[in-house]
Amino acid sequence: MTYEELIPVIRRLAIEAGSKIMEIYNSDDFDVKVKSDDSPVTAADEAADALISAGLRAAFPDVLLVTEEQADSHKAQGDTFLIVDPLDGTKEFIHRRGDFTVNIALVEQGVPTRGVVYAPARERMFFTLADGSAVEETGAFDPAVIGATSPIRVASSDNSALMVVASKSHRDQATEDYINKYSVKDSKSAGSSLKFCLVATGEADIYPRVGRTMEWDTAAGHAVLSGAGGKVVRFDDHSPLIYGKDGYANPFFIAYAPDVELKEA
């Protein structure tokens, strides 16, 4: 598998999964189930997962696949793997707030190196090119043909007037306390991995996450942000956030543009 082979496939699968998700999103009603960890899951999660998993296994049968909706895949370990969250932001989907994404990423030696984040209800798509740089695509999102793209780059941050983005569904007092350590010009809320992409495009300077996430929630957004010149570090000691951890659970973290002067936790 080369990066040149990978990118068109993960982009196409994200768009196809997004179309399936939007069919269900725009229907009159859909069932919501609760998984063993008390998180919600819908028919859209399951349909998108089935589509993406089949596509990745057909294209790259020798690459380890980890996906949120297949618990057996969580037991696998390897240095190189594809990791998928077929519908990140299920709560946003259920409440029809639009801030949900399809996420597919490649992790190599603990680092998300390539990825795609597609927000079908927002009609925004971000992905890394074969060379690792990040772009935003605009247009019709034809699965077969990459449309017009624009390079994206993190902001040159002004530490006296930072733009902060935080979780829409998980913004708590611990998050507010940390944000208050900075000189904040404004803050916004967003769901799912869109928060990484807002930092990647320079629409925000910093995204602190003081709450539970899994690697499939963050890997694609992390790859896009890295491709745009941004960084993701652990909240506690500011060391790089690594992947392939046992159980695929993340510590708290901070995603940011490098000009931001990070505060201690």
Q: Which residues contact 37 (CB under 8 A, 6 or more apart)?
A: none
Shortest CA distance to 162 belongs to which of 259, 62, 44? 259
Establish how many alpha carbons lie within 13 A of residue 217's alpha carbon, considering only the half-sphere containing its beta carbon: 17
CATH number of 3-151: 3.30.540.10
pTM, two decimal places: 0.93
Rounded distance between C-alpha atoms, residue 258 and residue 239, angstroms: 14
Same fold, 3-151 and 162-256: no
Percentage of the chain exceeding pLDDT 90: 72
What is the per-residue pLDDT for 225? 98
Task: Please state which of the ranges 48-62, 66-80, 219-233 shows the lowest mean pLDDT.
Answer: 66-80
CATH 2.40.50.140, domain 162-256, yes or no: no
pLDDT, tens digit, 9 for 90 and up, residues 92-110: 777 777 789 999 999 999 9
pLDDT, tens digit, 9 for 90 and up, residues 111-163: 999 999 999 999 999 999 999 999 999 989 999 999 999 999 999 999 999 99
Give the residue extent of every domain in the chain.
3-151, 162-256
| pLDDT level of residue 186 (50, 70, 90 thresholds) | very high
pLDDT, tens digit, 9 for 90 and up, residues 8-66: 999 999 999 999 999 988 887 766 666 655 566 677 888 999 999 999 999 999 999 99
What is the mean pLDDT of the segment spanning 184-198?
A: 91
Q: How far is the CA of 44 from the CAs of 13, 41, 151, in angstroms?
A: 14, 8, 30
For residue 192, give the 3-state DSSP assignment.
coil
pLDDT of 206 above 90: yes
Query: Which value, in Å, is the radius of gyration of the alpha carbons in the chain?
Result: 17
Sign of the alpha-carbon dihedral angle for 26, 12, 226, 88: positive
